[in-house]
């Protein structure tokens, strides 16, 4: 039976959405990213999104059949919802009013149309827990970080790395300079936590250990 690490457990169980971000050395970070995502699903029953923004050609092609690996966050958008019950809407138009205003025009509506029947929400990338794999600092991600800095700032960070250059920037830092690879580091942590890797996690770690 798996023994949950209390520090990780606290962060995972209070989170609503989890992203696993793999460093640009994809041949070593992507296998660990897949293994970590498998661990989270197996032990905590939680899904997570895996991201890698580097050169896909250096990543073992077998890994792409193991998991859905995304290269960028979903672009944010504004979603407007209208409760049109008891209203027979026939047209929905929009137009620009001046340089900075967009007008949405819906017709016809009932005479007494309450404002609270219109709501809006911002949809897109939003994570409250980010697991960073093989990153000495988040800025090592280049444009992926600079273009999404707000997403990172709003999230708790679990920092997993074996580099002596690591800045210990995480809410939780799992950093071991003595580990010869990140795959070996996380494999040893799995043993420590009593987690027997699933078939997917095992295959991914074997790929990482062979690099």
* CATH number of the domain residue 201 falls in: 3.90.1640.10
Q: Decide: 50 and 66 in contact? Cβ < 8 Å.
A: no
**Structural domains of the chain, count:** 2
Domain assignment present for 10: yes
Is the Cα dihedral 192, 193, 195, 201 positive or negative? negative
Return the bridge partners of 178, or none. Answer: none
Domain boundary, last residue among 123, 158, 180: 123
Distances (CA, A) of 192 to 46, 160, 172, 195, 208: 21, 15, 17, 8, 19
Question: Among 20, 13, 6, which residue's Cα sits nearest to residue 127?
Answer: 20
- For residue 128, give the 3-state DSSP assignment: coil
User: What integer pLDDT is reported at residue 77 of this predicted model?
Assistant: 65
Q: Are both 186 and 132 inside the same structural domain?
A: yes
Q: What residue ranges of the chain have pLDDT lower than 50? A: 1
| b/e sequence 148-168, b meaning 16+ C-beta within 10 Å | beebbeebbbbbbbbbeebbe
Q: State whether 136 and 180 are in the same domain.
A: yes
DSSP state of 85: T
Residue 1: the pLDDT is 44
Domain of 173, in residue numbers: 6-74+125-210
* Distances, alpha carbon 129 to alpha carbons 2, 21, 30, 101, 186, in Å: 21, 11, 18, 34, 18
Give the pLDDT confidence score for residue 2 in this predicted structure: 54
Q: What is the DSSP letter of 76?
A: P
| β-sheet bridge partners, residue 102 | 96
pTM here is: 0.79
User: Are 95 and 46 members of one domain?
Assistant: no
Q: Are residues 117 and 50 in the same domain?
A: no
E strands along 162-210, which residues?
A: 172-175
Q: What is the pLDDT of residues 98-141, one digit of tens each?
A: 777 877 887 777 777 777 777 766 655 689 999 999 999 999 99
- What does the pLDDT read at residue 19? 98
């Amino acid at each position: 039976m798996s023994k949950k690490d209390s520090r990780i457990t606290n962060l995972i169980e209070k989170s609503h959405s989890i992203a696993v971000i793999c460093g640009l050395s994809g041949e070593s970070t992507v296998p660990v990213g897949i293994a970590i995502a498998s661990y989270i699903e197996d032990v905590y029953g939680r899904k997570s999104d895996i991201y890698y923004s580097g050169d896909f050609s250096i990543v073992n092609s077998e890994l792409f059949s193991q998991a859905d690996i995304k290269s960028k966050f979903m672009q944010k958008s504004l979603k407007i919802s209208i409760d049109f019950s008891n209203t027979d809407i026939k047209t929905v138009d929009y137009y620009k009013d001046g340089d900075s205003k967009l007008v949405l025009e819906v017709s016809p509506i009932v005479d007494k149309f309450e404002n609270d029947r219109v709501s809006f929400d911002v949809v897109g990338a939003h994570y409250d827990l980010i697991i960073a794999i093989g990153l000495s600092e988040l800025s090592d991600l280049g444009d992926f970080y600079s273009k999404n800095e707000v997403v990172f700032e709003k999230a708790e960070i679990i920092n997993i790395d074996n580099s002596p250059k690591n800045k210990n920037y995480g809410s939780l830092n799992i950093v071991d300079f003595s580990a010869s690879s990140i795959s070996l580091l996380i494999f040893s942590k799995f043993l420590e936590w009593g987690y027997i890797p699933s078939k997917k996690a095992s295959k991914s770690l074997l790929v990482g250990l062979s690099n």
